[in-house]
Chain A
């Protein structure tokens, strides 16, 4: 049986950003890539979405306070 780890209730949605999206994001946030929180390339979810070091992952969390919050992590 094959299943997706992303379906687990503890795992929020992870999305891989394209090059253009990533660049635009950094411009909006006004930070360098390295200033973002990190996610390891061998993280089970990062592997599942096929993220490579240097990519940026968008994470859409179900937050207890804000309802839905979007954060970004740099793949290392």
Chain B
């Protein structure tokens, strides 16, 4: 019933909802409601950021100050299963630097309803995801005299992983260039050349050969969360996991932001940056307003590609030479700019501080123009 009043007062949706809730609880009549909403709108307008405010500086300080209190402690067994996750300052740096390979990639995989309720079914999906190497299901020995590698699959281990002897044989045959044959329940790999190095190379290759699952996923842990089973993994490969049968891809996420950018696009990457940064700060007991992190995420994603904060990204692409030189690699920047004959127009803040001029911020942003010969 209050909807139409809001037409004249364009408040954000979240705020609207809150106001309506409160009004309905108190059963306010329309006339008073209008007055209340008007007052709310007034306060809202007063609290808006003014044009020309240094929002970036405020964000930098708001993240930087609590950041000094973060611990350097890298590893920590997070509440989630027994998976090691990088936390604290190292993780925050990782997020802002957009590392392509974070030190502890991890995925949270949710399952489709028909798989999520049953532990056995969840195990089935986990088997499809977890990388199983030959070493996991078989004994591997070298026979130096005959230049052979003997692989003896363990039936129990095979059954646990839901694999067959033939699967192992097929995979080995496919990836090893040497002669492969079966001999009473064993797989024999005959090295043609009498070369010790070749034997050892093949041995290593066979040991690490992935027979089932996804290479990058080293471990899968099944945990019950509420009434559904959720898989947590060590290692991450969003693209492949998404396509695995039984995985609810819409709710499957990874902590590797660059992977999200590649698979789900720039907007998803922006959300991932916000979520990860906020979670890292919150885990350390630091309260930083989302708005600051949102601003950082916006700056990182504004050009349509995920850019890091730093000399290879946002800071390195600044227009002004002096601003770049003030950040990192001063000499290199100045030298390169002079070689190219670049000109600094002194439009920004940093460069004007360097040369000692008033900056274009706050009161400095306004210029007065006097009209001569006007009315007296």
- Residues of A with Cβ closer than 8 Å to B? 1, 3, 5, 7-12, 14, 37-40, 43-46, 59, 61, 63-69, 73, 76
Tell whether, in the assembled complex, residue B271 and residue A39 are in contact, meaning their CB atoms are under 8 Å apart.
no
Tell whether, in the assembled complex, residue A45 and residue B265 are in contact, meaning their CB atoms are under 8 Å apart.
yes
Given A8-B268, A10-B260, A66-B13, A37 and B302 contact (CB-CB distance below 8 Å): yes
Given A9-B250, A37-B301, A38-B302, A43 and B266 contact (CB-CB distance below 8 Å): yes
Tell whether, in the assembled complex, residue B303 and residue A38 are in contact, meaning their CB atoms are under 8 Å apart.
yes
The 10 closest A-B pairs by CB, nearest first: A67-B14, A67-B13, A38-B304, A66-B12, A10-B268, A45-B265, A40-B304, A43-B265, A68-B13, A44-B265
The closest CB in chain B to the CB of A3 belongs to: B249
With A and B bound together, what is the CA distance between A14 and B268 in angstroms? 11
Q: List 28 A-B contacts (CB under 8 A).
A: A1-B243, A7-B250, A8-B249, A8-B250, A10-B253, A10-B260, A10-B271, A11-B267, A11-B268, A37-B298, A37-B301, A38-B302, A39-B266, A39-B267, A39-B304, A40-B266, A40-B304, A40-B305, A44-B264, A61-B267, A65-B294, A66-B12, A66-B14, A67-B15, A67-B16, A68-B12, A68-B13, A73-B266
Given A1-B243, A37-B302, A67-B12, A12 and B290 contact (CB-CB distance below 8 Å): no
On chain B, the residues within 8 Å of A43 by CB distance are 265-266, 304
Asked if B17 lies at the interface with its beta carbon under 8 angstroms from chain A, I say yes
Tell whether, in the assembled complex, residue B304 and residue A10 are in contact, meaning their CB atoms are under 8 Å apart.
no
Q: Which one of A1, A5, A9, A37 has the highest number of Cβ atoms from chain B below 10 Å of its Cβ?
A: A9
On chain B, the residues within 8 Å of A40 by CB distance are 266, 304-305
Tell whether, in the assembled complex, residue B291 and residue A14 are in contact, meaning their CB atoms are under 8 Å apart.
no
Binary contact track B9-31/A, C-beta < 8 Å → 1, others 0: 00011111100000000000000
Asked if B263 lies at the interface with its beta carbon under 8 angstroms from chain A, I say yes
CB distance from B154 to the nearest CB of A (A): 33
Tell whether, in the assembled complex, residue A59 and residue B267 are in contact, meaning their CB atoms are under 8 Å apart.
yes
Asked if B137 lies at the interface with its beta carbon under 8 angstroms from chain A, I say no
On chain B, the residues within 8 Å of A68 by CB distance are 12-14
The one of B13, B15, B272 that contacts A10, using a Cβ cutoff of 8 Å = B272
